[in-house]
Amino acid sequence: MSDSSTAADKAEGPSRQDWVVAGLCTLADGGIDAVRVERLAKTLGVSKGPFYWRFADRAELLAAMLDYWRRDFTARLIAHGALLETPRARLEDLLAQALEVRVGPIDVARVEGALRAWAAHDPTAAATVREVDARRIGHLAGELAAMGAGTAQAQQLARGIYLGLLGLFTARRYTPEVADDDAYRLLVMRALDAAQDGERA
């Protein structure tokens, strides 16, 4: 095979992001042990060879999956509403995004749960989950403080909002009849009202 045809094959084959997204979808469906090169290649309709055009090995893919989750499921969501004028508007925008069931082909609730199951027995995944959780809660607390909540109140409200979201994700996976987006939205609105009441106090 010529160098030019090899370059063309690489350009036309699954991209690095295609493999990462396939990895996250597989993680959500079958857990970390299901994330294997052979299975992903079958999902993407290619042989295993194209995988090694994008990654040195499975470990690099797993690291890229964590990076993608950190970036697209946290940093991107925060950046989406960053130009909105008030902290309440930014948090309401974040709420709307957090309640989306899917991001492309990725089931958000399932991947969030699967990442935490992976983190339970993998130190690298655990460190990433702790980092992401801290960033999400820190961002919420900062915006709630900007609305007028005191430091301790902002931290408590942020944790409550976040724990409620994780609970909603769990319900979506295991007891969908309990998963009520409107109930969670009401909870968040009450928390935002409480932060504003702190400003008026």
Give the pLDDT of residue 2.
44
pLDDT of 5 reads: 45
Q: Using DSSP, state whether 81 is helix, strand or coil.
A: coil
Judge contact between 16 and 64, C-beta under 8 A.
yes
- Residue 66 DSSP SS3: helix
Report pTM.
0.91
How high is the mean pLDDT in each 10-residue block of the chain (201 residues)? 52 91 98 98 96 97 98 94 96 96 95 97 98 98 97 97 98 96 97 85 45
pLDDT of residue 162: 98
Tokens 């309990």, residue?
Answer: 178
Q: Give pLDDT, residue 198.
A: 77
Q: How many CA atoms lie within 13 A of 152 on its CB side?
A: 0
Looking at residue 85, what DSSP letter applies? S
At 146-158, the pLDDT tens digits run: 999 999 999 999 9
pLDDT of residue 7: 58
DSSP letter (8 states) at residue 107: E
Residue 38 backbone class (left: φ over 0; alpha: ψ -120 to 50; beta: rest) = alpha
Which two three-digit tokens encode residue 75?
A: 């940093």
Which amino acid is it at 155?
A: Q
pLDDT of residue 197: 86
Q: Alpha carbon 146 to chain centroid distance?
A: 24
Partnered with residue 106 across adjacent β-strands are 103
Q: What is the C-alpha separation between 23 and 21, in angstroms, rounded?
A: 5
Please give the CATH architecture assigned to the domain spanning 3-200: Orthogonal Bundle (1.10)
